[in-house]
């Protein structure tokens, strides 16, 4: 365990360095993009190594304990933002919003016990990986949209207007944000379908309205409503930004709250 934790903390250091530099670049109106990309990439590589070492040691993926779920989601969210930072220049200043969210999750991870958990027989299926994989793409897309939405709200409040001056106007940012939300809707839909197929194999039913299923469906409804409202009522960028953040908050509670409060089969009780 010492090796995996040592590599993990090293990854966190590189994440913090890269994220802090990205935020400073926004504040100081500098463009250290290559250095930020290099630091985040090294952090991601070290994090991948840490997850691989743990997977080999415990014999299953990082899907059971809060420590494992936090670690694997920090990895996937960091990967999503790294790819967006690399390929979409418009989202780079959104690091000022996205990285503090990831820093909070990293702090939470460091305070969580890294002990092992029980891997139930119902989790030994390929549908587990498909279901979780779709969910991670969904969360990654919404996280990047949250970063863009945060920039829209900060500018509308008169905060950092000059710092974000090189970004497109709020209407164009809103368009980009909702394109990412559309990607999120596709992958959350696939996540729910894959989860239902897994549930049929594991528990003999596709859907039972247990707390996690209910919250996941509420998140899907909220996301679908946000996209529908934006297309139908042509909402202002500020209104769209609030809806994006609301979807992320609900998804965050679903991913990191309900599974550890509920006594449903999702908790691995059977």
User: pLDDT tens, 12-68?
Assistant: 999 999 999 999 988 888 888 999 999 999 999 999 999 999 999 999 899 888 899
Compute CA distances 150 → 1, 176, 179, 269, 270, whole Å: 38, 13, 16, 38, 41
* pLDDT above 90: residue 120: no
| 267 in Cβ contact with 199 (< 8 Å) | no
* pLDDT above 50: residue 268: no
Longest C-alpha distance within the chain, in Å?
57
* pLDDT above 60: residue 144: yes
User: pLDDT tens, 83-118?
Assistant: 999 998 888 889 999 999 999 999 999 999 998 888
User: pLDDT tens, 221-248?
Assistant: 999 999 999 999 989 999 999 999 999 9
Note the pLDDT of residue 16. 97
| 243 in Cβ contact with 229 (< 8 Å) | yes
Note the pLDDT of residue 263. 54
Q: Spell out the residues 6+ positions from residue 212 whose beta carbon is closer than 8 angstroms to its own.
A: 254, 258, 259, 262, 264, 266
Note the pLDDT of residue 269. 40
- Mean pLDDT for the stretch of residues 168-173: 92
* pLDDT above 50: residue 132: yes
Looking at every residue in the chain, the average pLDDT score rounds to 91
The model carries a pTM of: 0.92
User: Three-class SS of residue 207?
Assistant: coil
Report all structural domains of the chain as residue ranges with CATH numbers, in order of start.
Answer: 120-267 (1.20.120)
Helix residue spans in the chain (DSSP H): 2-27, 33-58, 66-87, 95-110, 126-156, 170-203, 211-233, 237-256
User: Three-class SS of residue 154?
Assistant: helix
Note the pLDDT of residue 270. 39
């Amino acid at each position: 365990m010492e090796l995996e934790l040592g590599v993990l903390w090293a990854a966190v250091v590189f994440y913090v360095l890269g994220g802090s530099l990205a935020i400073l670049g926004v504040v100081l109106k500098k463009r250290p993009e290559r250095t930020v990309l290099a630091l985040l990439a090294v952090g991601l590589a070290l994090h991948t190594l840490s997850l691989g070492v743990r997977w080999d040691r415990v014999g299953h993926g990082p899907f059971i304990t809060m420590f494992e779920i936090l670690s694997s989601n920090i990895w996937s969210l960091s990967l999503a933002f790294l790819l967006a930072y690399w390929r979409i220049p418009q989202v780079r200043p959104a690091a000022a919003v996205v990285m503090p969210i990831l820093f909070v999750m990293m702090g939470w991870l460091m305070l969580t016990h890294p002990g092992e958990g029980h891997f139930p027989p119902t989790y030994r299926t390929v549908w587990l990986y498909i279901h979780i994989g779709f969910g991670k793409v969904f969360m990654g897309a919404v996280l990047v949209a949250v970063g863009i939405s945060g920039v829209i709200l900060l500018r509308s409040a008169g905060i950092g207007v000059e710092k974000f001056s090189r970004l497109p106007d709020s209407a164009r940012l809103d368009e980009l944000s909702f394109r990412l939300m559309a990607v999120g809707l596709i992958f959350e839909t696939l996540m729910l379908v894959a989860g239902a197929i897994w549930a049929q194999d594991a528990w003999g039913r596709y859907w039972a309205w247990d707390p996690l299923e209910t919250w996941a469906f509420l998140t899907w409804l909220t996301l679908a409503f946000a996209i529908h409202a934006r297309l139908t009522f042509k909402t202002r960028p500020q209104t769209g930004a609030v809806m994006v953040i609301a979807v992320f908050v609900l998804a965050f509670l679903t991913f990191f709250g309900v599974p550890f409060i509920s006594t449903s089969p999702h908790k691995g009780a059977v």
